[in-house]
Amino acid sequence: MSALTIRNLRKTYANGVEALKGIDLTVEKGDFFALLGPNGAGKSTTIGIVSSLVNKTSGEVSILGYDLDRQRALAKQKIGVVPQEFNFGQFEKVFDIVVTQAGFYGIPARIARERAEKYLRQLGLWDKRKNQARTLSGGMKRRLMIARALVHEPDLLILDEPTAGVDIELRRSMWDFLIGLNNEGRTIILTTHYLEEAESLCRHIAIIDHGQIVENTDMKSLLEKLQVETFILDLARPVTEAPRLPGFQVRLRDAATLEVEVPKTENLNRLFVELAELDLRVMSMRNKANRLEELFVRLVEQNLPGQAAPAEEVAS
């Protein structure tokens, strides 16, 4: 059984904006799934419809076999949502927010208090339980929303930009926490702008753009589609124009920095030989972006009709 099945989902807002143009998506039970896309692509609308915060125009959604139209209460019982924006009462106490959320799911107070303690401890917020939510830092507020989403122990957890604005150390600890939840059998769907996060955590990925799914596959297959990798080379001396290197696309970023696209069929040794023949010494080298980021940009650019070529000097 799938954790989430979406069929021909469409959403047109009252102002005429067509946010979703008939998307299909299946997330298997136990998966760690990334939903990526640029701003305004339709990610939040999709999550909004799945979590019953946005009315769909047409299409079908089912969560762990429960149809969202016909078995809405059962479907909602199975899902926990961590939204992008803080959406709790800022003047309420941390402990009360989690216990109250459990109450909305019909969980009796005693069990609600036990679970609130369990998740607040796991997320390092137990010491802050008596504080008003508005006094927490941004990272703590995000963790509070995770604790709140888990209090009814859902099988499917959806996180919309869970680590936005969170420092690196805390982000890593949140990754560990999410991996732990996934290892317990929970299905996790996340949207993120940190593509390194998606590459590290997720086994499957869908890319949405202009309200359409432009890619939906497992992470390994997706990364294998990357035919070209781009490197930034810092040169020992400045050059006046981009050198011509057969088999490579070279751009001049500035006088002493080259951007080189290396096809998968080529090897880096030949690149360095070619550069050495032109008496160009490389002082340092780095990837332009991580692999998923590069692929993401290419897929999204492909989906843009009439995309202009970069206005940089190109030599090949």
Partner 1 sequence: MSAYQQWVAFCTIVVKEIRRFTRIWPQTLLPPAITMSLYFVIFGNLVGRRIGDMGGFDYMQYIVPGLIMMSVIQNSYGNVVSSFFSTKFQHSIEEMLVSPMPNYVILTGFVVGGMARGMAVGLIVSVLSLFFTDLTMQHAWITVSVVVMTSALFSLGGFLNATFARNFDDISIIPNFVLTPLTYLGGVFYSLDLLPDFWRAVTLINPIVYMVNAFRYGVLGVSDVNVYASLGAILVFVLVFYSLALWLLNRGTGIRG
Interface with partner 1 by CB under 8 A: which residues?
13, 45, 48, 51-55, 72-74, 76-77, 79, 81, 83, 85-91, 96, 100-101, 103-109, 148, 152
Minimum separation from the CB atom of position 235 to partner 1 (A): 51
- Closest to partner 1 by CB, 123 vs 205, is 123
The CA distance from 125 to 136, in Å, is 10
Minimum separation from the CB atom of position 208 to partner 1 (A): 17
- Closest to partner 1 by CB, 45 vs 182, is 45
- Closest to partner 1 by CB, 97 vs 166, is 97
- Closest to partner 1 by CB, 90 vs 267, is 90
- Closest to partner 1 by CB, 13 vs 236, is 13
Going from the C-alpha of 139 to that of each of 93, 118, 136, 194, 236, the distances in angstroms are 16, 19, 8, 16, 42
CB 16 within 8 A of CB 170: no
Minimum separation from the CB atom of position 6 to partner 1 (A): 17
Of 280, 223, 269, nearest to 247 (Cα)?
269
- Closest to partner 1 by CB, 106 vs 247, is 106
Minimum separation from the CB atom of position 229 to partner 1 (A): 40
Minimum separation from the CB atom of position 105 to partner 1 (A): 5
Minimum separation from the CB atom of position 110 to partner 1 (A): 11
Of 178, 207, 210, nearest to 294 (Cα)?
207
- Closest to partner 1 by CB, 92 vs 234, is 92
Minimum separation from the CB atom of position 83 to partner 1 (A): 7
Provide long-range contacts, Cβ within 8 A and 24+ apart, for 268-271: 271/245
